[in-house]
């Protein structure tokens, strides 16, 4: 069954009335039918609202079915999904290897907070593959990946990394937000834990924040659940409903976003201010062949560099846009643009872009209108100040 069909059918119907979506149940206290069952409750019965009710169960099932996972934890944000994945598998005295292109707040967690737990971090090249073996030692407990990197769009050799990590008993974790688990199946490639921000394409409407972590094995699923419960993670039923609803149309929205993004990227190639375009689905991307071998499609998030721009030119370009919003996140119905240089942090390898780096997230607007809007931005740069 194709994913587009699977996403419309998961868990249907949800009750004996034939509802195609679960009802939103809000509750904290769950009354036990007897004193014995207060502690010795049957498997499958919720005993406290924090562990989730029908709609959270439905969302977990949808995510697990989409990626053939053995377990799923829900979190209140994508950042929390990544930190939960790490905390589930590390302990004092260990070390995490992390791709140098990972999401900035995850990088901050590894550098500034994980060390308080007695765990060190070492950053490695974003394009590392089998060479990861040279960085693994007896202290290495986890490898943190992001492919593509959400700013600079490198594609990692996930099968090679997973094979080496499994042989060395090291857990692999990926931030899989770019593909939303739809166009890339990291668990099927051997990656152990796949985290993502459901805030993005799964939610799809810029009105909810949530994350999830999916586990490849039963053993990892148990570790994930134990850490989730110990740290008190919770996803509200209302937010879970919104994300589940968004998943029903996710494949259509991602396809539209990807198609429009390629049209805009191709147009950008003709603009004199634009240098390299960092779009993995384009043949001129350095990792395009690897992208084709691992991904079934793209999305609308990509970047380009402007060789002669400073931060000031980037700001003038963005401020001239009217349809593109200036803001974080992506994957919603609206198009967004940001300048990336103030948040780029690299220690293992330099970011190989020239001048300024601009990231675009392409939404549901007509691509012709978006191109006209970008023309306004370039016109502002060409006009003397």
Residues assigned a catalytic role: 50, 103, 175, 200
Q: How far apart are CA 157 and CA 250, in angstroms?
A: 26
Q: How far apart are CA 168 and CA 305, in angstroms?
A: 38
Q: Which two tokens stand for residue 377?
A: 């931005």
Q: Cα angle at 178 between 350 and 172, to 5 degrees?
A: 75
Q: Cα angle at 29 between 28 and 32, to 5 degrees?
A: 145
The residue with tokens 């570790």 is 223
Q: Cα angle at 188 between 165 and 136, to 5 degrees?
A: 10
> Which helix (H) or strand (E) element contains residue 245?
helix 237-248
Q: How far apart are CA 265 and CA 360, in angstroms?
A: 10
Strand order across the 301-306 sheet: 277-278, 301-306, 356-361, 336-339
Residue 198 contacts residue 243 (beta carbons within 8 Å): yes
Own/partner pairs for 112-120, CB < 8 Å, 24+ apart?
114/86, 114/90, 117/87, 117/90, 117/91, 117/92, 118/91, 118/92, 118/93, 118/94, 119/90, 119/91, 119/92, 119/93, 119/94, 119/95, 120/94, 120/95, 120/96
Q: How far apart are CA 343 and CA 346, in angstroms?
A: 10
Q: How far apart are CA 94 and CA 140, in angstroms?
A: 6
């Amino acid at each position: 069954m194709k994913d587009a069909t699977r996403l419309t059918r998961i868990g249907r119907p949800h009750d004996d009335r034939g509802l195609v979506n679960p009802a939103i149940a809000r509750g904290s206290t769950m009354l036990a039918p007897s004193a014995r069952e207060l502690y010795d409750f049957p498997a499958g019965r919720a005993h406290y609202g924090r562990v989730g009710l029908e709609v959270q169960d439905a969302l977990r099932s949808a995510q697990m079915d989409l990626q053939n996972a053995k377990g799923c934890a829900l979190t209140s944000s994508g950042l929390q999904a990544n930190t939960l994945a790490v905390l589930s598998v590390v302990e004092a005295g260990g070390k995490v290897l992390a791709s140098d292109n990972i999401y900035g707040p995850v990088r901050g967690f590894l550098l500034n907070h994980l060390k308080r737990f007695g765990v060190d971090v070492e950053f490695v090249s974003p394009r590392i593959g089998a060479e990861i073996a040279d960085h693994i030692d007896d202290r290495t407990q986890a490898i943190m990946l992001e492919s593509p990197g959400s700013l600079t769009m490198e594609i990692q050799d996930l099968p090679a990394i997973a094979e080496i990590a499994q042989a060395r008993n090291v857990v692999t974790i990926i931030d899989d937000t770019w593909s939303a688990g739809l166009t890339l199946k990291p668990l099927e490639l051997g990656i152990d834990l796949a985290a993502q921000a459901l805030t993005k394409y799964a939610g799809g409407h810029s009105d909810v924040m949530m994350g999830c972590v999916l586990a490849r094995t039963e053993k990892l699923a148990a570790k994930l659940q134990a850490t989730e419960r110990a740290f008190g993670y919770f996803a509200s039923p209302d937010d879970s409903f919104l994300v589940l609803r968004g998943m029903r149309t996710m494949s259509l929205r991602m396809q539209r976003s990807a198609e429009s993004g390629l049209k805009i990227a191709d147009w950008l190639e003709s603009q004199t201010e634009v240098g390299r375009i960092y779009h993995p689905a384009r043949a001129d991307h350095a990792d395009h062949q690897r992208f084709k071998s691992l991904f079934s499609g793209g999305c609308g998030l990509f970047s380009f560099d402007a060789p002669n721009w400073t931060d000031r030119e980037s700001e003038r370009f963005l401020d001239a846009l009217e349809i593109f919003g200036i803001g974080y996140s992506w994957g919603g119905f609206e198009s967004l643009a940001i300048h990336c240089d103030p948040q780029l942090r690299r220690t293992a390898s330099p970011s190989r872009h020239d001048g300024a780096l601009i990231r675009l997230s392409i939404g549901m607007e007509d691509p012709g209108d978006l191109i006209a809007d970008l023309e306004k931005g370039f016109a502002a740069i060409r006009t003397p100040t």
